[in-house]
Structure 1
Amino acid sequence: MAEVLDPVLARDPDRPALVGRHGRYSYRALDREANRAAHALRELGIAAGDRVAACLPNDVAIAVAFLACMRLGALWVGINRVLAPREKVHILNDSGAALLLASPDVLAELAGAGDAGALRARVGVDPGGARDEWSARVARQPDARPDAELDAWGPAAIAYTSGTTGTPKGAVHSQHNILLPGAVTAATGLYPAGAAQGAVLPLTILNLFVLGPVAAWQYGVCSVAMDRIDAVGVAEWVERERICTFAAVPTVIHDLLTHPDVRPEQLASLVQPLIGGAECPEEFRELYRKRFGADVAIGYGMTEAPTAVTRAEGEPQPRPGLCGVALPQCAISIRADSGRELPAGSEGEICVEPARTGAWAGQYTPMLGYWNRPDATAEALAGGVYHTGDIGVLEPDGTLFIRGRRNELILRGGANVYPAEVERVLLEHPAVAEAAVLGVPDRRLGERVVAAVRLADGEQVSDAALRDHCRALLARYKVPDAIALVPSLPRNAMAKVIKRELRPLFESE
């Protein structure tokens, strides 16, 4: 990753490399700024192996800081800005972050949110503002690339994803992991040469950094860090920078193509944006087909991969659960609980491993493991393959179909919501005795979060009050859209809640 800019630096250093609200860099200027930022990190006491957390909006500063970490051998830890303060503090503590780069509003939010034990420094990033300590530090550093011993296969970033226990886990990735997806897609010529690529979803999410700026630099094009996700704001970015593609969830594209204040000519440069993270209703697929002249490509991926591991080029009427075929660097297998590989057509756990044949054979590696979670790591990587926890079927031609999420993951508008995490927060309310959280279909979001709650004997509380309780402790997208108060939760003989029997409670909403 420290050398990702070098091919373009050697042949066309003045080519545009990065654009954001507060800056515009050529490859030459970005290389210089990343070097200065790396020296600024070193001045703050950061060395190889230290964790650097960043909670920043999409702009040039987050991209520069990411490159700086890679050039020092420090571990990048992105913290999504929409997380609640307590969730942010958990990631800081779990990762043992030594430094936090954050906007002033986040620093103020965290001031009273709890102790972040290992944190040695909190540095404000406020481009053009009075509290921009980071820019001042970077500006006074030398231009030369810092000397550092880098290991392309060692830990380089920690991507947090909630686990089925409700406690977020950090998937650790190497610089090799971060570079491989872009290297494969660059080799396939998937995007128009020379066209700018946007990054509209939060770059604090590692997968989106891999699909956005990192891939753009590997293609030798400009990455545009888009700081607005509303339809009008996205359209302005696309028109101004002539963006050809970006990765988005269906809701972003749906709103972009239907908003009355977005003119078609504003989107003239946009060619088949990537869609992921949520089910696509037929209404959306038809809208996409009409505008882009192609069916929505379907993929399957996860934080631990990182990014996608399969792709289907799209079908007019996709079969339920269609995920497509393995990408060139990956192989997909279906395995029994014992770890034994099952024959085609069998239902079992979806597992991911390096491709066994082809130009990319043996190149892929999943995550290195979960940060400080040896038991979870051993379970996820048992037998030398990554066990996704999802159930699926692999057809004889290699097409994968997902049958269900064994871990009950809810995909709400492209954001992952784990029921156990929301249930844990609901149970912290003194009036709640039991809680069950599930996802129900939604035409726009793919799924929405709902909950059934049994109150403790003699307690009274409204569903609105429970949602307020969740809102104070969870990111907005995790807060249940509806809460049903019930006298009891349906359970099976093993005393486990039968969540499918709760779905009728929310069918009329």
Structure 2
Amino acid sequence: MRPTRLPTVFSTTAAKARNVGSAARILAGSGIVRPVNPVGLVRTGLALARWGTGPAGGFVGLAHRYPHRTAVIDELGSLTYADLERRSNAIARALAARGIGEGDGVAIMCRNHRGFIDATLAVAKLGADALYLNTAFAGPQLVSVLERDKPALVIHDEEFTGLLASTSAAERLVAWVDSEDPGETLESLVSGDSRPVTPPKRHGRIVILTSGTTGAPKSAPRQEAGIDAAIALMSRMPMKDGWRCHIAAPLFHTWGIAHLLFSELLGTTMILRRRFDPEDALATLEAHEADSFVVIPVMMQRILSLPEEKLAAYDLAGISSRLKAVASSGSALPGDLALEWMDRFGDTLYNIYGSTEVSYASIAGPVDLREAPTSAGKPPWGTQMKILDGDGAALSDGEAGRIFVGNGLLFEGYTSGGGKEVVDGLMATGDIGRFGPDGRLYIEGRDDDMIVSGGENVFPQEVEDCLMRHPQVSDAACVGVDDADFGKRLRGFVVLVSGADADEQTLKDWVKDNLARFKVPREIVVIDDLPRNATGKVLRRELAGWKADSASGFDQSEPREDA
């Protein structure tokens, strides 16, 4: 009789307890554990003891440890960690004078610049909660979130003033300034009293909004992350003390804010730009000699889509030789994007799979992406993962089921109530996946995206990847629609490369030649661009509501990509 193969269950928690030396080796390898000024080290320890391990404690500690190290570089210039300490103290005192205190909510609607960091640190020092708003919100989404969470103050870039006029937010304060007379601003508060602030009794929370691609955005609060979170990522991805990191992913997104928080441990120099532009990104990486690059997949797509003559204007060889890690997250890597990127920029790509609710879950490094480009890699240190069926039983390798994850960053439930299903301490990610024979995780798709076509389960992601591999397709997405013969079929949407002329039948034949017949979309629509939000995720509700006879085809009430 053939022996039964036990299902793969990743659990390093017990190993961690037995061998804390592995954590020490990871920290030593990152350059964090090394000889330092003992006075600065003591002050750092005291700061963490008084302020906790969140933004307040981490950045106060860095101001003692590396006061003169450059912390931020943006369009306005550079700031040291001592500058951030002084500025956030002054802003915190000014906000306290306005009545902001422990337990209050402060919404932050800022692009990637110093004001986002100033506001985050000041709010944390008061023991208030920071609610990060999507900068691509349309009026209805913004009104809904602000009425639900009722922040006491909204700190926002001036460009959003008109949008906020439709809300009932009590007080507002401008961060990034575009006009000559914006009134009182965050920057005007910096010149005030910058003496150290008394630590609050309550540590503030960070509240991240879900993407809202299939429903209204939900607010997912988090308590302070411990050092375990950083160790987990560093166990499968290089992150070194003192690196210069271009954080292109939006800071309001889970992936962007994660690297802001990792900076408090690593003393990173954060290179920020308010808007993403593929050519500007290359120029920024080149000019500032970045060691790492934090992106969402659509940003890599846009860079690779630049004409060769524009790419040739930059020292790509120099950029590639300096980049030690390109860290991608936020959505799946479509088609052969991983291979195309590494062929151009080197084998330094790391793709992180996770969600707003569970944070990180698994990491695919360059070796994983070379050997299995469609895999999500393996869970990092300190992370548990199981594939469960509908009854909560573990499935064998190769069987697709619901993905459940356990780590130190599971969220505590939505502010509006409810949360994700939890089984034996592991939280559902909302995705369907399987463990392959190579021990890697493979994502089939969202559990609510799956359709049953002719009695067969079909996930859009597999068909999207197939379409993306057609030489004339630059982007693709699929959604389920009703079908008289099969019950449900997929409708495909594709964006063609410049100058391409592939028609619907050509693309259907391509899918038919590569996948099972029942996976061929009922129709394939060629459009100029896919509707995406600011974190690069496709807005599937807009695709599902597509109408061929309307002006644009789409309902544009969703927050769109505005990079």
Compute the TM-score of the two structures, normalised by the length of structure 1: 0.75
Matched, 1:222 2:273: no
Q: Which amino acid letter does the alignment assign opposite residue 558 of structure 2? A: L
Equivalent position SS for 1:70: helix
Name the CA shift for 1:300/1:150 in 2 (closer, same or farther; >3 Å): farther
Q: Which amino acid letter does the alignment assign opposite residue 230 of structure 1? A: D
Kindly indicate whether the alpha-carbon contact (under 8 Å) linking 1:249 and 1:278 is maintained by their aligned counterparts in 2: yes
Query: Structure 1 residue 131: deviation in Å?
Result: 0.8
Partner of 2:243: 195
Name the CA shift for 1:4/1:275 in 2 (closer, same or farther; >3 Å): same
Query: Structure 1 residue 447: deviation in Å?
Result: 8.2
Distance 2:491 2:222 in 1: 30
Matched, 1:250 2:303: no
Name the CA shift for 1:188/1:284 in 2 (closer, same or farther; >3 Å): closer
Equivalent position SS for 2:122: helix
Partner of 1:408: 449
Matched, 1:299 2:391: no
Partner of 1:370: 414
Deviations 1:378-408 (A, max 9, x none): x533543211121122357742222231022
User: Aligned match of 1:173 in 204, 222, 243?
Assistant: 222
Query: Structure 1 residue 189: deviation in Å?
Result: 7.5
Partner of 1:182: 230
Deviations 1:213-249 (A, max 9, x none): 2222321121111223112211232233222212213
Distance 1:438 1:33 in 2: 52
User: Aligned match of 2:111 in 53, 57, 80?
Assistant: 57
Matched, 1:210 2:254: no
Query: Structure 1 residue 441: deviation in Å?
Result: 6.4
Distance 1:134 1:190 in 2: 38
Name the CA shift for 1:184/1:407 in 2 (closer, same or farther; >3 Å): same
Partner of 2:315: 265
The count of corresponding residues between Structure 1 and Structure 2 is 435
Distance 1:452 1:185 in 2: 36
Partner of 1:285: 338
Deviations 1:131-188 (A, max 9, x none): 1522355224322232233556xx61211115687222111111226x6533444577
Partner of 2:154: 100
Q: Give the CA RMSD over aligned residues.
A: 3.6
Name the CA shift for 1:146/1:26 in 2 (closer, same or farther; >3 Å): same
Matched, 1:451 2:543: yes
Kindly indicate whether the alpha-carbon contact (under 8 Å) linking 2:387 and 2:394 is maintained by their aligned counterparts in 1: yes
Matched, 1:475 2:562: no
Q: How does 1:348-497 map to 2 (within 5 A)?
A: 348-354=401-407, 364-373=408-417, 376-377=418-419, 379-395=420-436, 398-408=439-449, 440=493, 449=540, 451=543, 462-464=549-551, 466-467=553-554, 470-471=555-556, 473-477=557-561
Query: Structure 1 residue 300: deviation in Å?
Result: 1.3
Deviations 1:433-477 (A, max 9, x none): xx999775668879865635599xxxxx9322553xx22x22234
Query: Structure 1 residue 28: deviation in Å?
Result: 0.9
Distance 1:189 1:462 in 2: 48
Matched, 1:66 2:115: no
Distance 2:270 2:489 in 1: 42
Query: Structure 1 residue 331: deviation in Å?
Result: 0.7
Deviations 1:279-319 (A, max 9, x none): 44555334322233317433311111224544344446554
Name the CA shift for 1:33/1:389 in 2 (closer, same or farther; >3 Å): same
Q: Percent identity?
A: 22
Distance 2:220 2:443 in 1: 22
Matched, 1:126 2:176: yes
Query: Structure 1 residue 350: deviation in Å?
Result: 0.5
Distance 1:94 1:27 in 2: 35
Query: Structure 1 residue 109: deviation in Å?
Result: 2.1
Distance 1:100 1:7 in 2: 27
Distance 1:441 1:324 in 2: 27
Equivalent position SS for 2:258: helix
Name the CA shift for 1:57/1:418 in 2 (closer, same or farther; >3 Å): farther
Distance 1:226 1:439 in 2: 34
Deviations 1:37-83 (A, max 9, x none): 22222122211211111111211111111111222221111111112
Equivalent position SS for 2:218: strand
Equivalent position SS for 2:210: strand
Query: Structure 1 residue 264: deviation in Å?
Result: 3.4
User: Aligned match of 1:146 in 174, 197, 201?
Assistant: 197
Query: Structure 1 residue 10: deviation in Å?
Result: 3.1
Kindly indicate whether the alpha-carbon contact (under 8 Å) linking 1:166 and 1:419 is maintained by their aligned counterparts in 2: no
Partner of 2:526: none
Partner of 1:430: none
Name the CA shift for 1:187/1:343 in 2 (closer, same or farther; >3 Å): closer
Partner of 2:143: 89
Distance 1:72 1:187 in 2: 33
Greater RCO (Cα-Cα under 8 Å, separation 6 or more): 2
Distance 2:333 2:367 in 1: 11
Deviations 1:1-53 (A, max 9, x none): 21112444334310111121124211111111111222222122211211111
Structure 2 residue runs of 5 or longer lacking an equivalent are 1-53, 451-459, 469-474, 482-487, 498-529, 531-535
Q: Which amino acid letter does the alignment assign opposite residue 550 of structure 2? A: D
Distance 2:346 2:213 in 1: 39
Compute the TM-score of the two structures, normalised by the length of structure 2: 0.68
Equivalent position SS for 1:352: strand
User: Aligned match of 2:385 in 314, 332, 348?
Assistant: 332
Structure 1 residue runs of 5 or longer lacking an equivalent are 355-363, 424-434, 456-460, 479-509
Name the CA shift for 1:146/1:327 in 2 (closer, same or farther; >3 Å): same
